[in-house]
């Protein structure tokens, strides 16, 4: 059974405890009605007969729920009644054959009590109070949703801004510049030297010493993570040599920022 809140109406001297369900309706425990009326009959038999007499419809006029009594492992069945159903049961309890005089007197008292509860519950003041409560709950819910949304946006903002900036620019950058971007996006300060080493150890840059040292591997080139920038150098003796530099593409920048997140 879902959690139910105690009503404030007549709280100091409730004849029979009344509660409010999640739909804002007044409900009563059938067992509490049974105890108040001091019925001299087994509860299970009594409540089934009462519900049958008043032609109560389950999940509309009453609901059943399993529970375990303290100190007893057996599963019992509880009944929750609407206010109208509780009033009807009290009415028939007062006129049923073989009902003792005490129960008749208590049934009349309980019926008047439920009528007073209904009248107070439907008063303009209580209707306004319920409306304000609902509005307050809605506002609190929206606040919580907005807080969660803001936290998500804060978490996503660096990555979104980075991805948008990379998509807007097709400029390839040096590995050292990528290390700075990684730091700006909330990752550990890896540094250019350490980033080169990580790329070599993970198969993105060629590890073996030679003319192609620190050049992209074929796998990295196939993925479109790097491009090779060639620069012509004219030496003092007139000969020309070609300098090759590995540069990280826009796709590679996004890839490595995501890949390195949490790994360093």
Question: For residue range 222-260, what is the model confidence (pLDDT) as tens digits?
Answer: 999 999 988 877 777 777 777 888 999 888 888 888 888
* Residue 206 in this model has a pLDDT that exceeds 70: yes
Beta bridge partners of 240: 234
Partners of 76 in beta bridges: 67
Residue 193 or 159, more confident: 193
Give me the mean pLDDT over the 210-221 stretch.
Answer: 90
- The verdict on residue 130 lying in a domain is no
**Residue 178 counted as domain residue:** yes
Check whether residue 11 and residue 97 sit in a common domain: yes
What pLDDT does 234 receive? 76
- The yes-or-no verdict on residue 54 having pLDDT over 70 is yes
- Do both 94 and 12 map to the same domain? yes
> How is the beta sheet containing 173-174 ordered, strand by strand?
173-174, 240-248, 226-234
Share of the chain above pLDDT 90, in %: 27
Tokens of 138: 């809605």
Out of 64, 94, 122, pick the residue that ends a domain.
122
Q: What is the pLDDT of residue 2?
A: 41
For 177-195, write each residue's pLDDT tens digit: 888 888 776 666 678 888 9
In a domain, 138, yes or no: no
pLDDT over 60 (residue 103): yes
Say how far residue 84 (Cα) sits from the centre of its chain.
35
The whole-angstrom separation of Cα 84 and Cα 61 is 8
What pLDDT is attached to residue 133?
Answer: 72
Q: Is 68 inside any structural domain? A: yes
The tens digit of pLDDT for each residue in 59-84 reads: 999 999 998 877 777 888 999 999 99
DSSP 116-141: HHHHHHTSHHHHHHHHHHHHHHHHHH
pLDDT digits (tens, 9 = 90+) for 11-46: 556 788 888 887 778 899 999 999 999 988 899 999
Residues 9 and 111 in one domain: yes
41 within domain boundaries: yes
| Residues spanned by the domain of 80 | 5-122
Q: How far apart are CA 248 and CA 223, in angstroms?
A: 11
Last residue of a domain, one of 122, 140, 160: 122
Overall domain count for the chain? 2
**Domain end position, chosen among 90, 122, 154:** 122
d(CA 58, CA 186): 57
């Amino acid at each position: 059974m879902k959690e139910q809140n105690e009503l404030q109406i007549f709280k100091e001297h409730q004849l029979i405890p009344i509660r409010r369900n999640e739909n804002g309706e007044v409900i009563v425990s059938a067992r509490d009605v049974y105890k108040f009326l001091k019925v001299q009959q087994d509860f299970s038999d009594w409540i089934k007969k009462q519900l049958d007499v008043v032609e109560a419809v389950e999940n509309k006029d009453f609901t059943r729920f399993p529970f375990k009594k303290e100190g007893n492992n057996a599963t019992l069945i509880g009944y929750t009644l609407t206010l109208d159903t509780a009033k009807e049961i009290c009415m028939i309890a007062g006129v049923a054959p073989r009902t003792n005089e005490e129960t008749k007197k208590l049934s009349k008292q309980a019926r008047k009590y439920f009528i007073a509860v209904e009248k107070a519950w439907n008063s303009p003041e209580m209707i306004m109070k319920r409306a304000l409560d609902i509005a307050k709950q809605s506002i609190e819910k929206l606040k919580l949703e907005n807080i969660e949304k803001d936290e998500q946006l804060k978490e996503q903002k660096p990555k979104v801004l980075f991805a948008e900036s990379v998509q807007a620019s097709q400029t390839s950058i040096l590995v050292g510049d990528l290390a700075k971007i990684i730091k700006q996006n909330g990752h550990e300060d890896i540094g250019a030297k350490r980033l080169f080493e990580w790329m070599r150890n993970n198969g993105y840059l060629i590890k073996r010493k030679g003319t192609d040292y620190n050049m992209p591997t074929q796998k990295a080139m196939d993925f479109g993570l790097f491009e090779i920038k060639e620069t012509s150098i004219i030496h003092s003796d007139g000969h020309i040599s070609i300098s090759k530099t590995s540069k990280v593409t826009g796709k590679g920048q996004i890839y490595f920022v995501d890949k390195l997140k949490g790994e360093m």
